[in-house]
Structure 1
Amino acid sequence: MRRRTDDPDDAADVIAETFLVAWRRLDDVPRGDAARFYLYGVARRALANQRRGERRRRDLTARIAGDLAADLAAAPAPHPARPEIGAAFRALSASDRELLGLATWEGLDNGQIATVLGVSRNAVRIRLHRARRRFAKELQRRGADHTTVPAFVTRSKGEPA
């Protein structure tokens, strides 16, 4: 089997699958020398299945990469006159960036964010408030006037302006 694959791990997977099929269908395995030819046939089909699966994964990866590239091309570019906003955002902790991203870019409300993160709605409300406050402080520290930042970045949906 090693001669038929480029990767020794793939060969090991095909062999394991071959013997798993043989074990499951033990009553169908011929006795004597004929068993070897039966196992060759099972291995051949297992290898074909593995190659089809690899081809499907490769095609799916290419399709997803194309979709992502299209999404990125359609996304609005960051405002070139306001680089401090991106820098302030990147300076936040990963959890703050995740919260703010879920709320602003994904448009999720507190209940939906709570489901995504596996926490209570109240915990999201508190964490989001604190993350927005830290973001505003980081903007101030970088010399950006946080009052000119788009409102959706600093407020929840439904909050008064």
Structure 2
Amino acid sequence: MDDARARFEIVYRETYGRITAYTVRRCASPQDAADVVAETFAIAWRRIGELPDGEEAALWLYGVARKVLANHRRGEFRRQARNVRLDTEMADLYGASPDSGVELRAIAQIFQSLSDDDRELLSLVAWEGLDRQEIAVVLGLSRNAVRVRLHRARRRFARALAEADVRFTSESRLIPAERQL
């Protein structure tokens, strides 16, 4: 039991911040995020034998957190409050570059209008900084399926931006060039 506890404590210390950030960006309130994080790590403790080693542990926890969030959402009112929060967060996230020429409100509305799956994929890249292989582990998909879905999500987002006449240059890209997959 001591080995399992020590292993859990190490994984907890190494991943708590990332898993918390992941859930905070997806919950309507800090209290909801705290509940999701607590449940995620409770599951990790109960299933310590299934917890992978190294960086795979964080990816496994992202997958667990994703499922806990899905269960949490089923019991919630719907996502109206979350969408309002997302608008604010998008403005805060990209508002630091006033010379970008990006129409933040339009971008937030367009991002909000995407399907849950498209928003999740784009968020895993932009907010969590995950690559295709890591996303595949989190979502339980093949790397190729992630590649195709991510390409399509980006294309739908770009098309929606173009239809709304939102223009941006390579200097004001929504996703930094070093994170492009």
- The normalised TM-score by structure 2 is 0.42
| Structure with more relative contact order (C-alpha pairs < 8 Å, separation 6 or more) | 2
Highest Rg: 1 or 2? 1
TM-score by length of 1: 0.47
